[in-house]
Every structure is written in structure tokens, then in C-alpha cells.
Structure 1
Amino acid sequence: MKLAVVGGGSTYTPELIDGFARLRDTLPIEELVLVDPAADRLELVGGLARRIFAKQDHAGRITTTTDVDAGVADADAVLLQLRVGGQAARERDETWPLECGCVGQETTGAGGLAKALRTVPVVLDIAERVRRANPDAWIIDFTNPVGIVTRALLQAGHKAVGLCNVAIGFQRKFARLLDVNPSEVHLDHVGLNHLTWELGVRLGGPDGENVLPRLLAEHGEAIAGDLRMDRRIVDRLGVVPSYYLRYFYAHDEVVRELGTKPSRAAEVAAMEKELLAMYGDPALDEKPELLAKRGGAFYSEAAVDLAASLLGDGGSPVQVVNTYNRGTLPFLPDDAVIEVQARVGRDGAAPLPVPALDPLYAGLIANVTAYEDLALDAALRGGRDRVFKALLAHPLIGQFNYAEGLTDRLIAHNREHLAWA
């Protein structure tokens, strides 16, 4: 089995490598190729990756290349974890929207749109290369914004599934609170990527006892604290929203907060510099503790599980993924991409049925899906007017003057990445 990781020079990669090494019985990789245009980073990450495999007695071979075509040749699956424009582009995404009084964030709001515009054309080009190399290869997308990128891939006819670590993070957190094995925890996880709610937490499977009310009663303060939300929000909803709902439920508060401290991008850039220095140490043969602060917790476990299910029989039969709606949420088009529990196998992902949603959630999902439709159109066809319409449709923007100002700023800050600008 051969896997390729495009964006393999990311500081995230050792987390992925550690999972591949530990879970080799689930996903028996024979060859792993790390692909990245940044040769200097690739050398550091690749060296650590080989040492991690060696320490854990993994027999698989790890190679590195800056050539996408060479890297994906004959790959059974390709994982995408790239960031077009790097941390510098992320820094801009998190700052210029604040000038208009709107949240600055890399996947939500105007910053999220900028990332989609930069990313979709690049991902589609890579996917075409994968298809030419092996039309049967699966593409697993971890590249944000996952929902929009996955929809672009699926609409272009690629064998693709989107992956996010929010659900597995909740699963592991709830398992600790309940003192049970994570495999016993099933989430009623519903929504769009970075716009999801845990409507139930069931023990033993989809039909198991819903222990969410008990979790909220006994651990509500801790759960709300991890989300950085007022406990009253969680208690009032009676469900657990993802962290990203904070940008919707407390938008103005978050904008004020972001204006008083360094951006997350600046923090991550400093962390990456330190991590890369660590990766260059020939004595280091395990992922450093600092990596846990970088983000992406449990990404490796989720990626291994998904790849194992798509390529064979080693993964869990039911997983939270991003895939076509196909009638699961009846108020959305069939080709909308949703994030829900799905049955995953060699033929891909098939969403499990979802109970009728409260309009409180359905309305916001429908609104953001409309924005994502317009965002993808702008990413595929370009043009100032399409960018403006997407921004105007976003529920965190929605005002003419805001959309006008944000459109000009987005184009100015991303011109080098927009072929049409």
C-alpha cells in the first residue's frame, strides 16, 4: 500500500507519522511519500518521520519529493493538507476583516472565503494529477475550508472524502469524562464543516443510550470552558456546538477580543519556527509535546481510520466525514457537502439518517450552505462580483457596506494568488 501526503512539509506531519507508526496493523503502509514545494522544510520533516518509523519498528519506506506527479504516482490514497500562501496569508486572513468590524479567522467569514479562493484551484490541479496517475486512488482532504474544498473535488468527479478532527476530538473528550473507551462513544454529529452540533452522545452505537444530558449536568462548566463559550449558551441549547459556533453566537465579543491580542497565525508561526528547529535534531525520534499546541489533535487517528476503511476492511464502519448530502438533510441540495456520521467502505461514504433538525440549526446550516455555493462559484470562475455576492450572503457579514469593503481588501491582499485579479 502506498500513500502520499501533499503538504508533507507541514509541521502537522509528525502527528500523522506517529499515527501511521502506532496503527500499522490497521493501515499497513509499505511506502509513504511526503510531497511539498518547500524542500528545506521537507528535509527536516522527512528526517524526523523516518526516525519515528525506525523507533517504532515500522518497516515502511518514507521518501520525500517536491514533484507532485512523482509523489502521487501509483498511490492508493493521497492526503491533502496544504496551505496556499503559508502562515503569511493566514496572518492577513485573520487581520484585514477586523478593519470592517468582522471576525478575522482562517476558515470562517471573509478570511475563510479568501482561503477558499486561494486553495480550490490548486487542489483541483493536484487532484487531476492524482487522477492521471491512478484513477482509482482516493483523495482524503484535510485542507481547509474542508466543506468547500471537498465539494469542489466531488463536483469535478474525484474520489474524495473530507476529514476534520472536531468530531474525534469531542469523542475522545467525552470518553474521558465518561471513563469509557472512545470506541464506545457514538456522536449525533450534524452540520457543515466547522458548523456542527453534537445533538447526542450515545454509548455503544447509534442506537445506544443518549448520555449527553448527564454530561452537561455533570461537566457543563468544563465543556463550555473548552469551547470558550458562556455556559448559559450550552445549557440553553442542550447540545454541544463546535468551537467555531463561537464566531456566530458571540461574534462581536470575539471581534473585540481579536483586536486586543496577537493573531493565532502569529502564534502558530512562532511555534512552527521552534518545531522545525526541533525536527532538525537528529536525536529526536518522536513527536514533541509542543506539537499538541499546534492543533490537529487526533488527526492521525481519524486519517488512519478513514484511509483503512476506504482501502480495505481495517477501519471503523461508521465515521464522521464530509461528503455529499444525498437527501440526508432534506432542506439542502443533494450535492451540498455536509459533515455527519457516515458508513465508510471501499465505495466511499454514505451518510446515515439524521432526525429532523430544529430550525435553530437548520436555518443556519441552510444560510451557510448558500454562502458556500457562492464561494465555490467565486473560487472556480473568479470575478469581483462573485466575491462580493459570497460575502454579502455570509451570515457573519450580510451588510452591503461591509461586503464592499471586504471585497476590496480580500482582492488586494490575495492578488498574487488569484489568476483573474
Structure 2
Amino acid sequence: MSKGVKIVTIGGGSSYTPELMEGFIKRYEELPIREIWLVDIDDGKEKLETVGKMAQRMWDASPYDVKVHLSMDRREALKDADFVTTQFRVGLLNARIKDERIPLSYGMAGQETNGAGGIFKAFRTIPVILSTVEDMKELCPNAWLINFTNPAGMVTDAIIRYGKWEKVLGLCNVPVGAMMAEPELIGKTLDELIYSFAGLNHFHWHRVKDLQGNDVTSEIIDKMYSNDSGIPANIHDIPFFIEQLKQMNMIPCGYHRYYYRSEEMLKHMLDEYNDPNVGTRAQQVKQTEAELFELYKNPDLDYKPEQLAQRGGAHYSDAACETIASIYANKNTHMVVSTKNNGAVPDLAPDDVVEVSAYIGAAGARSIAFGSLQSAERGWLQLMKNMELCVEEAAVTGDYGVALQAFTINPLISSGEKAKRILDELLIAHKNYLPQFAEKIAELEAAGVTVEDEVAKDLD
């Protein structure tokens, strides 16, 4: 890397890319980038060109001479890369709309990374990420893969478990948001507190201590009920039951609302689904993204616009940049990443990918031991991890029975004939992106299975 760092971003046409560029510019003195390659597919070509021009304007406005390359050829871009970041969405936002609307049409949760929608996002994503890893083995075998493609935990686990690629870390903005919002609740700054996270991506808990070693988690919990809770923009703010948090003396991530307050969260999702003037979260995001790309077309815009924070993933790209800088400079920075457990959470197997606090340096992540969880959290964690393992296996093998198992044990999917119908409709809806299920999809089509939701059907 003595000649400078080559970074490749798969899904470079994403609306998040300007935040990624901002993070790299901010860290240039410790991460001397030589070139950046933004890669996308034909369907994303227009967005790639728009965001690529803006990315170059951002670098041109900086003191640094960095060239942004645009490519529709992943293999061309990957050659001799030092770091590869992934931020793609197979099927684009229309696929997410189907993931949300089809389950909701049957009265079940429709969400990007949870429930049936999250399972299908994994089904579409894992084969693509594994093919990317095969290219990396040939073209940049020493590169680090920094993944923030959702569902980040399952994708990262599949990269290690099925792709046999160890130099990978998964990232998410949710822990960053917690660490940015919570300290001021108790009159502290982040450097005056010690955070410990453990669990799975979008399903973790954390504890907090001060620099004297005193546990201040309960103090933060108290303040959460009198101040802004700081949850991500894409999660409806229904408060947890304070008695539950006090008992566990841990703070759940925002996504736990789908599990701890399922009834209320489902009602909110159904209200939006049934209101043609609102629509599901994906339909709202599609509008936000369209507005962002109109901004990006402005030839005078050479900085990240404030509106990007409305997209729901604020700060995640900044976390990616810090991770890369920490590996490159062996900084041993405390971060929260999806990585191999290696005993950090004894309630799961050593080879399971977990989301935990870790020190990030040249050797990757050194996980910080969290210890065993209490009965309720341990039960949740083991159920969710084994559900994830079923999802990964089905994504790789195309085994319909395993997919049905994943649906059956997922807490947000009521088991039975209706759940099977949702599975079948989602297979039909996403058939262009699920070659591993081709035989079963043909069987379902021959049996006359169709997508019932009118909006989802129109997106075919």
C-alpha cells in the first residue's frame, strides 16, 4: 500500500456514496487514497454517473488529488484493490417495496431486515456477495472486505461460513447512533464513557460504564424516558417498557421494537401500508432518494447535503471509513462490528458471526468479551442466530424446506398456511433475482401462484 490505497465500492451508485467520500476526505492524512472505483450494474448506471460526478467534485474541492473511476465491470475495478466496500441492494428499492408490502398484505410485518422481508433480502444478496468474494480471491486476494449491505450480520456470516473469506467486517450505523445520542443524556461526552455491545446485527444490546468503572446504563435508561431517544429515522418511535430494560440493565437496539413491541409496530406498519398517501417505509425512501439524486445533479454541489440524514442510514459510511483507516494505520480503535464470535458471547458458537465491541487494527477485529446473557436475552439470541443460519443455508442451496424452516421460527412470522403463502408470493415476486430457487418457482407458477398486492404486482 506504499503507493497509496485503492478502494473499490460495489454499489457505488448508492445515495450514501457522498457520505462515504466525506469520510475518506476527512481521513486522508491517515488513509492516503490513490484511487476510488465506484461499481454498479446496468440498472444503476444513471445513478452511478450522477453520484460519481458529485464524488469527483467533492474530491476536487478538497486539497487532495484523488481520481474517482466509474465502472460497470466489477472484475475490472477489483484488480489489486486494498479495500472493497459493499453497499448494494439486489433488485433496487422496488425489491424492498415488495419485501414490505407482500407480508403486510397478509397482516404480518414487512420490514427491510426483519421478518419475511429481511429473509428475502438475504436470499437475493448472499449469492451476489459470494460471487464477489470469488472474484476477490482471484483479483485482490489480500484485500479487506468491509460490508454494510443489509442484512449485514447474515451477509458477513455467509462470507466467512460459505465464502471462506476471513478478511471481512460487517458494519451498521445503529451502534454509532446510540453512542452519539446517549452520552449527552447524562451530561457526558463519548470519550468519558465505555460502551460494550453484544448480540447480532439489528439485534444487539449494550451496557455503559464511566471512566471510574461505574455502570451508568440504568442512569441512561432513566433519561431515555424524559429525552429524545435518538433512534434511527427509519424506526417508528414506540418506547420500550422501562421495567423490562431495568430488569436486563441493558439497552436494546432500536430494531428490538419489532420484537418487544410487535403489536404496536405492526399496527403502525399496517396504517402506513393502508394509507395510499403514505405507503410503506420503502415507498417513502424511494421518494427521498429521488429528491437526493435531483440535488446531486447540481453541478455546484460539492459537499454532502443535509437531506441525506433523512435516508435512515446516517453515519454508517463514516463508520466504514473509520474502520478502513483503523485497519490501514493499525489504530486499534474501539468500534462495533459484525465479526467472528471467538468467545466474546459464550451463548453462541465460536464460529458464529456476532455484532460486538472490538478493537480494530491491522489484524482486523479483536472482539471484546461481553459474557453470557440472562435467560430472556440468551433465548432470543439463540433463536435469532439459528434462524439466520437457516436463512443463509437456504440462500446458498435454494432448499425450499430450509426456507420454510426459517419462516417458521422467525418471531415476526406467524407459522401456518398464510406464512407459506407469503413465502411463495415473495419467491414469485423476486424470481429474477433468485436463480437458486428456480425449480421451486417454476412449480409455484405452474400451480397458479401469483402476487396479490396490487402495488407489488405492478413492480414486476
Q: Given the two structures, how large is their TM-score scaled by the length of structure 2? A: 0.86
Say whether 1:243 aligns with 2:247.
Answer: no
Moved more, 153-162 or 223-232: 223-232
Question: Is 1:408 aligned to 2:410, yes or no?
Answer: no
Change (3 A) 1:179 1:48: farther
**In the alignment, is residue 48 of structure 1 matched against residue 54 of structure 2?**
yes
Is 1:69 equivalent to 2:84 in the alignment? no
1:191 equivalent in alignment to 2:195: no
Moved more, 37-46 or 401-410: 401-410
**CA drift at 1:218:** 3.3
1:275–1:291 contact (8 Å) kept in structure 2: yes
Give 1:281's aligned residue.
Answer: 298
**Distance in 1 between residues matched to 2:314 and 2:367, nearest whole Å:** 24
Asked whether 1:201 is paired with 2:208, we answer yes
Measured in 2, the distance between the counterparts of 1:183 and 1:70 equals 42
Work out the CA distance in 2 between the residues paired with 1:377 and 1:29.
Answer: 37
Distance (whole Å) between structure 1 residues aligned to residue 394 and residue 7 of structure 2: 31
Match of 1:268 among 275, 281, 285: 285
The secondary structure found in structure 2 opposite 1:101 is coil
| Cα distance change of structure 1 residues 71 and 173 upon mapping to structure 2, 3 Å threshold | same
Q: Does 1:308 align with 2:325?
A: yes
**Higher mean Cα deviation, 234-243 or 344-353?**
234-243
Contact kept? 2:197, 2:370, Cα under 8 Å: no
Q: Distance in 2 between matches of 1:184 and 1:26?
A: 24
Residue identity matched to 2:39: V
1:6 match: 10
Residues 1:256 and 2:267 are matched in the alignment: yes
Distance of 2:417 and 2:27 partners within structure 1 = 51
Is the 1:384–1:407 contact (alpha carbons within 8 Å) kept by the matching residues of 2?
no
Q: Work out whether residues 240 and 261 of structure 2, in 8 Å CA contact, stay in contact via their aligned partners in 1.
A: no
Cα shift at 1:399: 1.9
Give CA deviations for 1:20-55 in whole Å, capped at 9, x if unaligned: 111222322121111111221111101111111222
Q: Give the gaps of 5 or more residues in structure 2.
A: 273-278, 439-460
Residue in structure 1 matched with residue 114 of structure 2 by the alignment: 108
How far has the Cα of 1:223 moved from its partner?
4.8
Q: Give runs of aligned pairs for residues 142-221 of structure 1, distance below 5 A.
A: 142-155=148-161, 156-158=163-165, 159-198=167-206, 200-204=207-211, 208-221=213-226
- Aligned-partner Cα distance in 1 for 2:360–2:398: 34
- CA shift for structure 1 position 180: 4.4
Q: After alignment, is 29-38 or 368-377 more displaced? A: 29-38
Kept in 2, the 8 Å contact 1:91–1:265? The answer is: yes
Aligned partner of residue 210 in structure 1, secondary structure:
coil
Q: Tell me the TM-score normalised to structure 1 length.
A: 0.94
Q: Which deviates the most, 113-122 or 389-398? A: 389-398
1:22 corresponds in structure 2 to: 26
Contact 2:22 2:304 in 1 (8 A): yes
Cα 1:5–1:225 shift into 2, 3 Å: closer
Pick closer, same or farther for the CA change 1:21–1:176 going to 2, 3 Å.
farther
Superposed CA offset, 1:362-394 (max 9, x none):
110100011011000100000322211111121
Cα separation, 1, equivalents of 2:391 and 2:130 = 15
The correspondence of residues 105-144 of structure 1 with structure 2, limited to 5 A, is 105-144=111-150
| Two-structure CA RMSD over aligned residues (Å) | 1.8
Cα distance in 1 between the residues matched to 2:418 and 2:74: 39
Q: Is the 8 A contact 1:20 1:300 kept in 2?
A: no
* 1:129-188 per-position Cα deviation (integer Å, ceiling 9, x unaligned): 122111110001100111110011112221211111111111111234345443443322
Query: Which segments of 5 or more consecutive residues in structure 1 lack a partner in the other structure?
Result: none
Question: Structure 2: how far apart are the matches of 1:209 and 1:15?
Answer: 35
The answer for the alignment partner of 2:314 in structure 1 is 297
What is the distance in 2 between the residues matched to 1:402 and 1:396? 13
- Counterpart Cα distance in 1 of 2:188 and 2:321: 21
Residue identity in the other structure for 2:293: L
CA positional deviation for 1:214: 2.1
* Alignment-mate amino acid for residue 242 of structure 1: C
Q: 8 Å contact 1:52–1:286 — kept in the other structure? A: yes
Distance in 2 between the 1:52 and 1:143 partners?
A: 24
C-alpha distance after superposition, 1:101-142 (max 9, x if no partner)? 221001001000100000000111111112211111000110
* CA distance in structure 1 between the aligned counterparts of 2:247 and 2:223, rounded to whole angstroms: 15
Q: Which residue does the alignment assign to 2:98?
A: 92
Counterpart AA for 2:390: L
- Alignment partners' CA distance in 2, 1:340 and 1:390: 24
Q: 2:374 aligns with which of 358, 362, 366?
A: 358
Q: Which residue of structure 1 aligns with residue 388 of structure 2?
A: 372
Q: Residues 2 and 176 from structure 1, CA distance in 2 versus in 1: closer, same or farther, beyond 3 angstroms?
A: farther
**Between 210-219 and 86-95, the greater mean CA deviation after superposition:** 210-219
Percentage of matched positions with identical amino acids: 36
SS at match of 1:328: coil
| Alpha-carbon distance in structure 1 between the residues aligned to 2:428 and 2:39 | 30
Query: For 1:359 and 1:144, how far apart are their aligned partners in 2?
Result: 28
Note the C-alpha offset of 1:317: 3.0
Query: Is the 2:19–2:317 contact (alpha carbons within 8 Å) kept by the matching residues of 1?
Result: yes
The count of corresponding residues between Structure 1 and Structure 2 is: 417
**Aligned positions of 1:32-43 closer than 5 A:** 32-37=36-41, 38-43=44-49
Offset at residue 338 of structure 1 (A)? 0.4
Distance in 1, Cα, partners of 2:210 & 2:26: 26
User: Does the Cα contact within 8 Å between 1:76 and 1:311 map onto a contact in 2?
Assistant: no
- The answer (yes or no) to whether the contact 1:90–1:106 under 8 Å persists in 2 is yes
Output the CA distance in 2 between the equivalents of 1:393 and 1:84. Answer: 25
Provide the rounded CA distance (Å) in 1 between the counterparts of 2:295 and 2:239. Answer: 37
